[in-house]
Structure 1
Amino acid sequence: MPDLPSQEHADQQQIRLILAALQDGVILIEPDQRISWANKAALRMHGVHEVAELGATVSEYRGRFELRYRNRHRLPEGAYPMERVMAGEAFDEVVVEVAPAGENETLWTHRIRSLVLNDPAGVPNCLVLILNDETERFDAEERFEAAFSANPAPAVILRLSDHRHIKVNRGFLEMTGYAEEQVVGRSAYEIDVLEGAARREFAVERLQQGRTIPQMEALLQLPGGGEKRVVVAGQPIEVGGTDCMLFTFVDIEPHKRAEEALRRSENSFDVAFRLSPAPTFLALRAGCRLLQANTAFVRESGYPEAELVGKWTGELGLWADPAAGRELERRLEVDGAVRDFALQLRTRAGDLLDVLLSAEAVSMGEGSCVLVVAQNVAEHRRTEMEIASAIEAVLRDTSWFSRMVLEKLAKLRRPDALDGTMTAELADLPPRGRDVLALVCRGMADPSIAHKLGISRNTVRNHITALYRRTGVRTRAALVVWARERGFTGGPPPKVPGPTKD
């Protein structure tokens, strides 16, 4: 008849059944160093399926698995948790990294505590290691550490139990000028990130409660004196099982400086806009709704500014020719710019003004806009017509009106024509430009000039456009007048008198 199992053996069987169902890993070690049993959780934490794969004894376990501290240093002989419990040492918590022997990469992180089971006589008869798998938590903390350190957004972490800063990232150090040792370990009273906060009492109350602190402006005191205005916010987090508060910051001084620069720029624009002698208005690029009108435009159009602002040009009937107005607005919306667009503008009294409109796209608070300048050309055209008529009358018969006479008339009209700035202006003209100007002054058309100089008509037009730009005139007649006033004869420019010696 076989022996019945002892009561002690039955008790161990019951204990093992209970331990097998635990989520924590459990390893039972006999006083003679034999590893007698492990539940599935403990086997899974070592990447094995059978107890034998852990090793038959503590020594074999040491040979199969390499344990390191969190600083990556390998545990020395006698420091393995199994060895410590065999030596009679009790411990509540030891955190180690575990990897199969010979592998450098850590596969698991265990938090281990010990338990000693004694027999009725008080002699240890079973040693127990209880393991918690902390791999995911510590991996997450490592990822958080890496992200926290690399994040350019300034941040510090405050431990809630004693209100001391335990971490600071480079972004905060660069923003404030602190060194890491000046922040880590210091209390919230030494480095008060909520100083000058718009709602400081509320923020301090939330901090003491460990609750989220919403964004608010605050003043950070800098290590070298002075202060920096920031937006600060606090978020409760857990770091290494400790309740903390993560403070993040936004440096708003660059934004404030940009706002101030924008304000000054807008003020300067407003002054220049108002004082400009040319009639000018600001309008939305799409649809041409007026946003602002300067004094000159109010005067020329006859509309009070209050009747212009907020109105569409169609509402005002500003364009005498609606089709031309639509074409102008289409070009403004598509291109954002026009140059010398000829148009008639209808005033409030119903009069028509001949204008040349030029516009350029600008960005304002309203969005995409255009700045439109209207040049009244009626008087200018009358003057040009009078000059052109006079020149045409003279050039009808040049047999008696010699070039010399024209030059003398110009000299009489402008006695300084051959001196100083006048002569210098002629000297600035390029040789080919002077050739084209001479032929223009003789009344030759573009085809004749091109044939005479052996160049293309397009090149002639380019030279004449360049002469307009240099002289500031807009027509050939005005160009002739400009040249005659300076005594231009078609030859090389006179020499500019130099300083005389005493």
Structure 2
Amino acid sequence: MSEAVLARETNRRQLQQIISGLSDGVMLIETDQTIIWANEAALQMHGVEAIADLGANGDEYRERFALRYRNNHPLEVEQYPIARVAAGDVFSDVIVEVAPADDPEQRSRVHRVRSMVLEDSKGSPESMVLIIADATEWASAEQRFEKTFNANPAPAVICRLSDLRFIKVNQGFLEMTGHSREQVIGRSVYEVDVLENAERKDLAIERLTQGATIPQMQAELKLPGGGTKLVIVAGQPLDMNEEDCMLFSFTDLEPRRKAETALRQSEERFAKAFRLTPVPTLVCSADRQQVVDVNEAFLATLGYTAQELIGRTVAELDFIEGAGMAGTLFDVLEKSGRIDGLDVKLRKKGDETLDCVLAADTVSLQDAACYLLVLMDITERKRSELELVEAIETVMQDASWFSQTLIEKLANAKSVNGRQLPSASFTDLTARERDVLGLICEGLADKEIAARLNLALNTVRNHVATVYSKLDVHSRSEAIVWARERHLFAGQAKAKRKE
């Protein structure tokens, strides 16, 4: 053996001893693609126990192992790392998936491969080296991130900080903006401007340049079809494939903007209707009954100015006649939320009184609960009714021949059918008592109710007695009238008539 060959073999043995214990895999290749040595780490990364299991050369290696790029494209013969390094190609960070050629569906190992060409003292290639790092766990983490990123419904894009171009976009962003993937990938953050009209754009650009976290801020994204979309945008730096990147995530504020616009328009319509309606109307807060607003018709009817009313409570103004009438009215509103019609007397400024019918409901203004009181002046109508009754009574003094039925009708007319505050609310009844009342309104007897609700007859009778007591009625017919006046169980009655 010549001294040169001996020296080379000696150097090679020393090199093998040095690298045999490294965690990275190392393979020594001849220029003819012969595999002359591999350390234990390289064997483990290929899932084999002996160098012979790798194959004697590049051809046998390709017969035993199928290599694919991460995009699932198989490597051509000349692209295999053994072929490249044997041809003198020096490369770094080639990432490939390695699987047995006879079972390519088996779980792949991921290798990160780089090459070295060792030269002798004369500068001629002496040994070709492949250095392999196991990137399986890294690739698995990348794959999990990729799946999570794509499946996440929250809109997001990732840009590379070196050139500020987008390298990833998820479906959420595409659906939110209407962009196609091709319109985003490869474009810069200024072409698809994710910081358009950002409230702190200068800070965002500074943080982007530094690769630092971009705090949440409001911005508007331009849409490919025209128009903009209001969003909250934030940026988080991350590392992808050993490249510094920025993850932009978004919250779509468009539904909130539309809701706020709709609310504003609704309140504007309410305000216009409130001002223009000829019916006297007042709005007060639900908690303190403090006057929030009144319309011109209310001021004209009661003779007050807005300054005399707004900010004061209804109790302080004391324009509703009757001891405790105002308190009772608001108690009913607190329980039932509305009053359909109630005869009240109102005191004008100057102590003149008016007969009115009051209707009230609960409304929300600027997220505050309020009561809307609507009044109808019936003073003239009541005066006419009383005058008519008085005239008939005068005639009746000399008309003993009038029938008793007519006399009763005139007596009823004199009472003027005044509406009264309900003495009880439907909500005062328990769920079971409501069921019993509903079946009473259907015309069922106690036995039938007991059968329908699967209750004992005495239990039903006790429920009926409790309902009478709470509603202050004394018979089935009065209970039915009470319910009908409040439009309760109307759907049940219609369904029963259809049957």
Shorter-chain TM-score bucket reads 0.5 to 0.7
User: Per-residue deviation at 1:359?
Assistant: 1.5
Q: 2:20 maps to which residue?
A: 16
Q: Is the 8 A contact 2:19 2:39 kept in 1?
A: no
Aligned equivalents of 1:175, 1:278: Cα separation in 2: 47
Q: Is the 8 A contact 1:35 1:57 kept in 2?
A: no
Q: 1:94 maps to which residue?
A: 94
**TM alignment of 1:124-203, pairs within 5 A:** 128-150=129-151, 154-173=155-174, 178-188=179-189, 190-203=191-204
**Structure 2: which amino acid aligns with 1:370?**
Y
**Structure 2: which amino acid aligns with 1:27?**
V
Q: Deviations over 1:187-208 (max 9, x none)?
A: 4554444455555544444433
Aligned equivalents of 1:290, 1:327: Cα separation in 2: 17
Q: 1:371 to 1:118 in 2, by over 3 A?
A: same
Aligned equivalents of 1:465, 1:152: Cα separation in 2: 51
Residue 330, structure 1, aligned to residue 331, structure 2: yes
Q: 1:27 maps to which residue?
A: 26
Q: 1:30 to 1:400 in 2, by over 3 A?
A: closer
Q: Is the 8 A contact 2:232 2:252 kept in 1?
A: no
User: Per-residue deviation at 1:13?
Assistant: 3.3
Aligned equivalents of 1:190, 1:371: Cα separation in 2: 52
- Per mean C-alpha deviation after superposition, the further-off stretch among 319-328 and 266-275 is 319-328
Aligned equivalents of 1:343, 1:134: Cα separation in 2: 85
User: Per-residue deviation at 1:99?
Assistant: 3.9
Q: 2:361 maps to which residue?
A: 360
Q: 1:183 to 1:461 in 2, by over 3 A?
A: closer
Q: Deviations over 1:219-252 (max 9, x none)?
A: 655556x542544635144443333344455666
Aligned equivalents of 2:395, 2:346: Cα separation in 1: 36
Q: 1:16 to 1:133 in 2, by over 3 A?
A: closer
Secondary structure in 1 aligned to 2:386?
Answer: helix
User: Per-residue deviation at 1:95?
Assistant: 0.7
Identity across aligned pairs (percent)? Answer: 43
**Structure 1: which amino acid aligns with 2:132?**
L
Q: 1:127 to 1:328 in 2, by over 3 A?
A: farther
TM-score by length of 1: 0.62
Secondary structure in 2 aligned to 1:330?
Answer: helix
Q: Deviations over 1:336-387 (max 9, x none)?
A: 2122234455666667655443222222204233312233444433332233
Q: 1:309 maps to which residue?
A: 310
Q: Is the 8 A contact 2:284 2:290 kept in 1?
A: yes
> Gaps spanning 5+ residues in structure 1: where?
1-5, 402-455, 467-502
Q: Deviations over 1:263-297 (max 9, x none)?
A: 33322321221233333222333443332222333
**Structure 1: which amino acid aligns with 2:92?**
D
Q: Is the 8 A contact 2:219 2:233 kept in 1?
A: no
Secondary structure in 2 aligned to 1:297?
Answer: helix
Q: 1:8 to 1:95 in 2, by over 3 A?
A: closer
Q: 1:104 maps to which residue?
A: 105
Q: Is the 8 A contact 1:228 1:253 kept in 2?
A: no
- Per mean C-alpha deviation after superposition, the further-off stretch among 137-146 and 89-98 is 137-146
TM-score by length of 2: 0.62
**TM alignment of 1:97-496, pairs within 5 A:** 97-99=97-99, 102=103, 104=105, 106-116=107-117, 128-150=129-151, 154-173=155-174, 178-188=179-189, 190-215=191-216, 223=224, 226-228=226-228, 230-231=230-231, 233-235=233-235, 236-248=237-249, 256=257, 258-300=259-301, 304-317=305-318, 320=321, 323-345=324-346, 354-390=355-391
Q: 1:27 to 1:334 in 2, by over 3 A?
A: farther
**Structure 1: which amino acid aligns with 2:69?**
Y
- Per mean C-alpha deviation after superposition, the further-off stretch among 362-371 and 180-189 is 180-189
Correspondence for 1:38 among 32, 37, 40: 40
- Per mean C-alpha deviation after superposition, the further-off stretch among 110-119 and 389-398 is 389-398
Q: Is the 8 A contact 1:97 1:106 kept in 2?
A: no
Aligned equivalents of 1:44, 1:188: Cα separation in 2: 44
Q: Deviations over 1:76-105 (max 9, x none)?
A: 456443454456543212111234552526
Q: Is the 8 A contact 1:280 1:372 kept in 2?
A: yes
Aligned equivalents of 2:190, 2:305: Cα separation in 1: 61
Q: 1:335 to 1:287 in 2, by over 3 A?
A: farther
**Structure 2: which amino acid aligns with 1:98?**
V
Q: Deviations over 1:159-210 (max 9, x none)?
A: 3323334344455555555544344334455444445555554444443333
Q: Is the 8 A contact 2:94 2:114 kept in 1?
A: yes
Q: Is the 8 A contact 1:30 1:125 kept in 2?
A: no
Aligned equivalents of 2:15, 2:166: Cα separation in 1: 51
User: Per-residue deviation at 1:460?
Assistant: 12
Secondary structure in 1 aligned to 2:105?
Answer: coil
Q: 1:266 to 1:82 in 2, by over 3 A?
A: same
Aligned equivalents of 1:38, 1:157: Cα separation in 2: 39
Q: Is the 8 A contact 1:34 1:56 kept in 2?
A: no
